[in-house]
Every structure is written in C-alpha cells, then in structure tokens.
Amino acid sequence: MKDHEAVIVGVADAPLINGKVAQPGSALQIVARCAKAALDEAGLTLGDVDGLFTAGMWGIPGVGQLPTVTLSEFLGIRPVVHDGTNIGGSAFEAHLGHAALAIEQGLCDVALIVYGSAQRSEMSRNLAGRPATLTMQFETPWGLPTPVGGYALAAMRHMHEYGTTREHLAEIAVAARAWAGLNPAATKRDPITVDDVLAAPTISKPLGLLDCCLVTDGGGAIVVTRASHAKAQGLKPIHVRGHGQAATHWTIAAMPDLARLTAAEMASERAFAMAGVTHDAIDLVEVYDSFTITTLLTLEALGFAERGGGGEFVSNGRIAPGGAFPLNTNGGGLSYAHPGMYGIFLLIEAVRQMRGEVEPERQIANVRTALVHGTGGTLSSGATCILSLD
C-alpha cells in the first residue's frame, strides 16, 4: 500500500423507516448528518474536508443548480475541489473516480461524496414528463412516463431479440426481495414470488409495479483520503483500483441499441483495464437496479452474462441469497431503497461487505475485490468502480 493512494475510510447512510428518513429533515439536513457520520467513522471532521462531490435533485430551479456551492455554505466548509458531475444515478461512481484522481494528484486531502433526498416524505416524485424544451421536444409531447417508459422500451426490445421473458425479469425482483429480507434496513422485506411479480399491476408494458424500484428517502456519504491517513488511524482501507464512465444518449430514441447497454460496456472496459484485473478476480458485484431490465442489461454489458443470455443467467435463484452469483446484497433499489439517485448506496454496500460488517445472514465471505456499476438517466450513462482491499 503506497501512502499517497486514495482509499475509502468512511461510509454512512441515513437510517430509514418504511422508506422515510427516521429523523425527518430536508435534503440538506440529511446530507449533513450522513457527512458527519461518515467522517466520524474515519476519525475526521468537516474541517478536514477540502474536496466536495455531490449530485442531487433538490433545490432545482434554485440553490440546487450549484449543489456543491450551496452545500459548502450549509456545511460551513470551503472546499478547493468541487465536483457536481451529474450523469444521473451513476454520478457517485464517477465522483469516486474523480475523487481518487484528485487525491492522488494532491489537489485535495479529504474528499467527501454525499447525497440526500427527502422525495418520499415530501411526495415530490412523479411520472410526468420532463419540460418539453430543447431535446425533450421530441419525447415529452408523446406522454412517455419517465423514467419507466424508456426502460420498458428496452425490455420489449430485449425480449424480441433474445426471447427474454417476464419470468426472467421477475427472477431479478424476487432475488432482490430475498436479499432485502436479510437486511433489517431494507424498506420492502416480505418475500415475493415470480407469480407475484407477474400479477402486479402493469405500469408500462412489459414492466409491472414489482419490476420498478422503490420511491424512498435516503442519504449517504463516503469519505476518501490518502492511504497514509488510514494507516495512522488503524482503519481498514478500501482501494479504488479502477474506474470508468461513459454516456450514449438521454432521449431513449437516441439509445444506440435498446437491447444492449453500451455505456456500461464502455465504462467497465476502462475500469477493468485500469485495475488490471479480469472477471475471475471479482468476488462481489453491486449494480444499479432501477428496474429489473437494468440489472439484466448490466450483467450482460459487464461481461458476466453472455449478450442475450441475461435471462438464463439470473434463472433458478442464481443471483439470490445462496445462489452462485450474489448480487445487490442489500436488496437494491428494487427492495432496499431508491431515493431518486441510488448510485452512492452501491458503493456503501460494497465497502461494508468488504469490511465484513453486514449482518451474518447476508455477509459474503472474503470479499477482496468488488465491482460496482451505476446506471444513470434512461440507460444513458454508466460508471464502474473496482474496489480492492489491497
């Protein structure tokens, strides 16, 4: 371990009860509490933070348009590295890559990556289209329910090209729920069956209610600093060995191939190359599951499943607890929580699994290397991080 290398030394999330923050608060309050908890874990304070990384959907239009600037003021800090990169829910995997680079280049010493949302408590989430300006002139007037409609279009195309079935997609929802059943912090914990998923009300054909992620509050924070600090504090450091990002479209009609997650292919290829590892080295995978189809497309794009073979890959409980390919071990966006943007929670779960500190029932043994992949927009962007204990 080289002293200048960037390592994750603190993570925290906001406790939830039935999908709402246990301690009610605004997005800014949620962020502040998570930041303090993650810094406490790292043996640091807000006064040490000189790099701030966030993306969010609060305060837009308004103070949320410059989110790191607003947050700096609220937190009482003066960061010298600001990153408000917003590529959708995958932004936090991109932030981690950027934070690692900034630390290793000496631009900052302590990077704080944060997210907070009170969307469930505030009832601020809806399916109505985005304003029909600029590129959205060609999508919003059609009444595409966003974001589910875009994912439904992709699912339908994947079914057409590869014979993927609703049962295949349902397996993903069932597995997520089974993991959530082992996670006391998860929002939806009652077991479900494939038949339950198929019988749930259709939202945007072929996707039904249980193919869709939850709508919850949530908050999270990650602290990144130099390995030398971790050593001095006696912390178990998590290294960022590889990262990559890409985006291919925003309006769904412009997606290059609706049955293929090109952004994830591009991002993960770069992350694997930077980390210098192959798929065999990966002990645990955490991927963004905004919808069941997202998981399926991502497994194919990352190269764990063959192209078109995602349905077969997830069948027979393979990604469920006890299966050969544990995936989304906290219950995911489908059953744990989904506060608008979910990417930071993939990283938090991977870190806790690598430290061996989750509940024994869902702890994966000896996770030395983990791959985290976020997806943002409407299958638009992807960002991959490969984390390692050494």
| Interface positions with another protein (CB under 8 A) | 126-129, 131-135, 137-146, 148-149, 152-154, 156-157, 160, 201-207, 251-254, 258
106: tokens are: 């000496």
Task: Give the shortest CB-159-to-another protein separation in angstroms.
Answer: 9
Tell me the closest approach of the beta carbon of residue 92 to another protein, in angstroms: 27
Closest distance to another protein from the beta carbon of 120 (Å): 18
Q: Indicate the pairing of strand 238-247 with strand 6-13.
A: antiparallel
Indicate the angle between helix axes 292-301 and 148-162, nearest 10 degrees.
60
> Which CB, 179 or 250, lies closer to another protein?
250
Q: At what angle do helices 27-42 and 67-75 cross, to 10 degrees?
A: 70
Q: For residue 119, what is the enclosing H or E element?
A: helix 119-122
Nearer to another protein (CB atom), residue 153 or residue 263: 153
Closest to 318 measured CA to CA, from 310, 307, 326: 326
Report the nearest approach of another protein to the CB of residue 300 (Å).
Answer: 17
User: Quick one: 45 or 138, whose CB is closer to another protein?
Assistant: 138
57 near 28, Cβ under 8 Å?
no
Distance of alpha carbon 276 from the chain centroid:
23
Nearer to another protein, 18 or 126 (CB): 126
* Phi and psi at residue 339, to the nearest 5°: -90, 55
**Minimum CB–partner distance for residue 206 and another protein (Å):** 8
Nearest approach, Cβ of residue 148 and another protein (Å): 8
The nearest distance, CB 183 to another protein, in angstroms, is 28
Q: Which is nearer to another protein, 148 or 347 (CB)?
A: 148
Nearer to another protein by Cβ, of 28 and 255: the residue is 255
**Closer CB to another protein, 97 or 149, in the complex:** 149
State whether residue 13 is helix, strand or coil.
strand
As a whole number of Å, the end-to-end CA separation of the chain is 7
Task: Report the residue number, 28 or 252, with the smaller CB distance to another protein.
Answer: 252
**CB of 244 vs another protein, minimal distance in Å:** 23
If 0-12 CB within 10 Å is exposed, 13-18 middle and 19+ buried, where does residue 246 land?
buried
Give, in degrees to the nearest 5, the angle at Cα 102 between 99 and 108: 100
Query: Cα separation of 155 and 272, whole Å?
Result: 27
Beta-bridged to residue 229, according to DSSP, are none
Say how far apart CA 48 and CA 77 lie, in whole Å.
9
